Each structure stands twice: as structure tokens, then as C-alpha cells.
Amino acid sequence: MVLVQVALAAALLAIGALHLAWACGSTWPRADRAALAALVIGRPVLPGPIACAAVALVFFVGTALVGSLGHLSGTLATMAHGATLAMAAVFALRGGWGFLEARVRREIVGTPYAVWNVRLYSPLCVGLAALAVVAGASS
């Protein structure tokens, strides 16, 4: 189960670092902010740096949470277990929504975001949800 926790923590850390880079002005993996917005959110404008930094912080807290599993006892262990399962639920909802989003947001049909949402973002979220369930259940 340690491998599951390491994989989940590494993924959360990487995603958090990417959001922090965006908060600091990076447009990777695109050349400019408009192209990045089209790729990652399917809208013409990116959220501001504070929003990106807040998302990064959430991922970093998730990384610490996963890292704490198996190292806590009593009430803290119970809280960490519950928070990990809540994380799994959020990722599962985001993953499921991503497969349906183009049916609701018709304006994204055919955009880079719609393609990447179905091919990468949503499957990644479903995978992270599964890892979080296993990590939370084994703690």
C-alpha cells in the first residue's frame, strides 16, 4: 500500500507544482495565456494568480495528507482517513463530470479542452480517486 500512497502523493505534488507555476505566470505547456486557457479550462481567460495558487495549495495539502497516512493514531488517523475518502469522492465527481461536460457546455465541443478532458483530465481524476480509495482504506 505504500506504493499507492507514494504514487498518489507524487501525482498530487506534480499537479500542485503545475498550478503554482501557472500562478507565477508560466504558460507551460502552451505559448501564451489564451492558448493555455483554451487547453486547461475551455474558456478564453485563465483564472488569476490567487485562484491558481489556492488550487496549488489544495493539492499540496492533499500531498501532505496522503503522506501522513499510516503515521497518525486516534482521532487524527480517523480524520486523515475520512479526508482521503472525501478526496476520492471529489476526484471521482470531477472525473465523471468531465466525461459528460461537453453535453452540458456545448461551446467546448471540438476544442482542445474537450479533447484533453476526455483523454487525460477525466481519466486522471478517476485514477486519482481509485488511488485515494485504496490509500484511505489501507490506512
Number of structural domains in the chain: 1
Mean pLDDT of 107-111: 95
Task: Give the pLDDT band of residue 1 (cuts 50, 70, 90).
Answer: confident
Please state, rounded to an integer, the average pLDDT across all residues of the chain.
97
Banded pLDDT at 115 (limits 50, 70, 90): very high
Domain range enclosing 132: 2-138
Grid cell at residue 52: 491558481
